[in-house]
Amino acid sequence: MNVAISNHSEKPIYQQLFEQISAQILKGELESGYCLPPIRQAALELHVSVITVKKAWEELERCGLINTVTGKGCFVAEFSSDEMLQVRNETILKQMVNDASYYKSFGLTLNEVIELLKKVY
């Protein structure tokens, strides 16, 4: 698990953790059965609060990306290729809904958003 936290980001730290770990899972970098570090250990290593890590782990579990086994830890869920694609697309769509709302708040049209996206992609 490789995570980089930015204290200068507008995104909350738990969101940064969730996004980075979920991306690693969905890209196959963290394989099924991989055991995430315990919440307290992750908090110490990342220099963040236990509550922050707990919130990220809970969001990962809510999305079905990890499973918690009482007394043993949190493990990356098992996915077939089709399930992985479905979860990836659902995760991306959820983010896109938030992004679209943000862009709309600036009055941008779809074509303007597409043109801006082309510049950064």
Per-residue model confidence (pLDDT) at position 90: 87
Cβ neighbors of 60 (< 8 A, separation 6 or more) are 18, 21, 22, 25, 66, 74
Between 6 and 1, whose confidence is greater?
A: 6
Mean pLDDT of 56-60: 96
Q: What's CA 83's distance to the chain center, in Å?
A: 17
Confidence of residue 84 (pLDDT cuts 50, 70, 90): confident
CB atoms < 10 A from the CB of 66, how many?
Answer: 23
CATH number of 13-76: 1.10.10.10
Helix, strand, coil in percent for the chain, rounding step 5: 60, 5, 35
- pTM of the complete model: 0.78
- The full set of domain ranges for the chain reads 13-76, 81-120
pLDDT computed for residue 83 by the predictor:
87
Average pLDDT over residues 66-79: 94
Of the ranges 42-46, 48-52, 90-94, 99-103, which one carries the lowest mean pLDDT score?
90-94
